[in-house]
């Protein structure tokens, strides 16, 4: 895999890792910052499914779940010709930083033509995760 096939983004979140972890593993909390509905079973092999605001659905499964430190999921889109469900991998590392958390996201295995839209998406959604984890309302999901 080359650097051209992945996205790396860091987001500082003003909430402790245990709080951020819940937003990556609890359906009702995930849908506060991304999508309009989430179905999550946060255990290796467990379902990961999020219906976005525009009706598109991302699907995969949980690969790794380390409480308060790391979550890894597979990611792909229902009815997508290059990225069907489960074909890419998203890693969330939760690094304690004072009273908050540094979230380091790495999205691996993206088709080159899908890098820009996913980069733009994570640039929108990670700040929404920050708002939600701080107990603020990020508003309706933009997509």
pLDDT tens string 112-134: 999 999 999 999 999 999 999 99
Structural domain span for residue 98: 3-133
Q: What is the mean pLDDT of residues 51-66?
A: 95
Judge whether 101 lies within some domain: yes
Q: For position 2, what pLDDT does the model report?
A: 52
Q: For position 53, what pLDDT does the model report?
A: 87
pLDDT tens sequence across 73-110: 999 999 988 999 999 999 999 999 999 999 999 999 99
Q: Report the domain count for the chain.
A: 1
What is the reported pTM? 0.94
Contact 76, 58 (CB under 8 A): yes
Q: For position 23, what pLDDT does the model report?
A: 98
- 24: Cβ contacts below 8 Å, ≥ 6 apart: 30, 42, 71, 92
Cα 46 from Cα 60, distance rounded (Å): 9
CATH number at residue 25: 3.30.530.20
Residue 43's alpha-carbon distances to 25, 62, 72, 94, 129, in angstroms, are: 9, 6, 10, 17, 21
Collapsing DSSP to helix, strand or coil, 46 comes out as coil
Judge whether 33 lies within some domain: yes
- 20 pLDDT above the threshold of 80: yes
Judge whether 140 lies within some domain: no
Q: For position 141, what pLDDT does the model report?
A: 85
Cα 41 from Cα 133, distance rounded (Å): 20
Instruction: Using the structure block, give the residue that is written with the tokens 């304690």.
Output: 96
Which range (3-17, 27-41, 117-131) has the least confidence? 3-17
């Amino acid at each position: 895999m080359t650097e051209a096939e992945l996205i790396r983004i860091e987001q500082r979140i003003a909430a402790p890792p245990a709080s951020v972890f819940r937003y990556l593993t609890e359906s009702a909390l995930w849908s506060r910052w991304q999508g309009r509905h989430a179905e999550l079973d946060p255990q290796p092999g467990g379902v990961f499914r999020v219906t976005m605001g525009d009706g598109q659905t991302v699907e995969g499964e949980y690969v790794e779940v380390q409480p308060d430190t790391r979550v890894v999921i597979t990611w792909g889109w229902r009815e997508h010709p290059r990225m069907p469900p489960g074909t890419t991998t998203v890693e969330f590392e939760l690094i304690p930083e004072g009273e908050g958390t540094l979230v380091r996201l790495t999205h691996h295995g993206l088709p080159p033509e899908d890098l820009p839209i996913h980069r733009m998406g994570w640039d929108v959604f990670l700040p929404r995760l920050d708002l939600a984890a701080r107990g603020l309302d990020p508003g309706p999901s933009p997509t």
